[in-house]
Amino acid sequence: MELILNPQEWWQLLSQPWHWAVSGAAIAGILFLMTWMGRSFGVSTAFKSFCHIAGADKHCDFFNFDLKNEYWRLAFVFGGVAGGFIAANFLQSPEPAAISEATITHLKDWGVNYPEGNGLLPTSLFSIFTVKGVLLALLGGFLVGFGARYGDGCTSGHAISGLAHLQLPSLITVIGFFIGGLTMTWLIMPMIFG
């Protein structure tokens, strides 16, 4: 039977970049798994735990909570780091992400030669060895952390979980994600990188 694959062929199949429909279904699968395990699918609250661990609970009531109730999320997040390590070292794609020619051409104007950073990150813009790279990393991280907590959720919490539960606040938050994302991409980034 052609359909039956041996383990090596399975591994090769898994290492290919996945079709968007397979990827979307896999993300929904993780949502179901987390829901069945009695927890919500949300990542950004992990930053709140980091604040607690760093001692913010002594300065501000918002960070005063029982960390034990958040262990599961920290385990999930550290699993994500491990999953990234495994994927990077044992499941390498044969080729970088097949992004559109239009994007590749436009990025040349910013001095980005695709596929730098394995097709995952423009390392010429975001380098830990440049002042600009570090400042942008801090600024971007700050906006994500602030916005996620003010909105009480990030992409996983609102765009996936919240929408799956048909929550209007989540839909409005996702619209906000796109207002911010489009403003950054079309107005601000051309000023920073152009």
Region 75-104 residues binding other proteins, contact defined as CB under 8 A: 75-88, 91, 93, 97, 99-100, 102-103
What angle do helix axes 71-90 and 45-53 make, rounded to 10 degrees? 110
Q: Give the three-state DSSP class for 72.
A: helix
| Minimal distance, residue 191 CB to other proteins, in Å | 12
Q: How far apart (Å, rounded) are the C-alpha atoms in residues 126 and 104?
A: 17
Nearer to other proteins, 9 or 16 (CB): 16
Among 7, 38, 94, 194, binds other proteins (CB under 8 A): 38
Answer yes or no whether residue 134 interacts with other proteins by CB under 8 A.
Answer: yes
Q: Locate tokens 């044969």: which residue?
A: 94
> 125 with 190: CB under 8 angstroms?
no
CB of 4: closest distance to other proteins in angstroms?
A: 22
Subset of residues 42 to 71 that bind other proteins, contact rule: CB under 8 A: 43-44, 46-48, 50-51, 54, 56, 59-60, 62-63, 71
Largest CA distance in the chain: 65
Q: Please identify which residue in 9, 23, 109, 113 interacts with other proteins, judged by CB under 8 A.
A: 23
Residues numbered 146 to 175 that lie near other proteins (CB under 8 A) are 146-152, 154-156, 158-170, 172-175
Q: How far is the CB of 135 from other proteins (least distance, A)?
A: 9
Q: Does 121 bind other proteins (CB under 8 A)?
A: yes
DSSP for residue 116? G
User: What DSSP assignment string belongs to 127-189?
Assistant: -TTSHHHHHHHHHHHHHHHHHHHHTT--IIIIIIIIHHTT-HHHHHHHHHHHHHHHHIIIIIH
* Count of chain residues binding other proteins (CB under 8 A): 128
Residue from the set 108, 111, 113, 118 that interacts with other proteins by CB under 8 A: 118
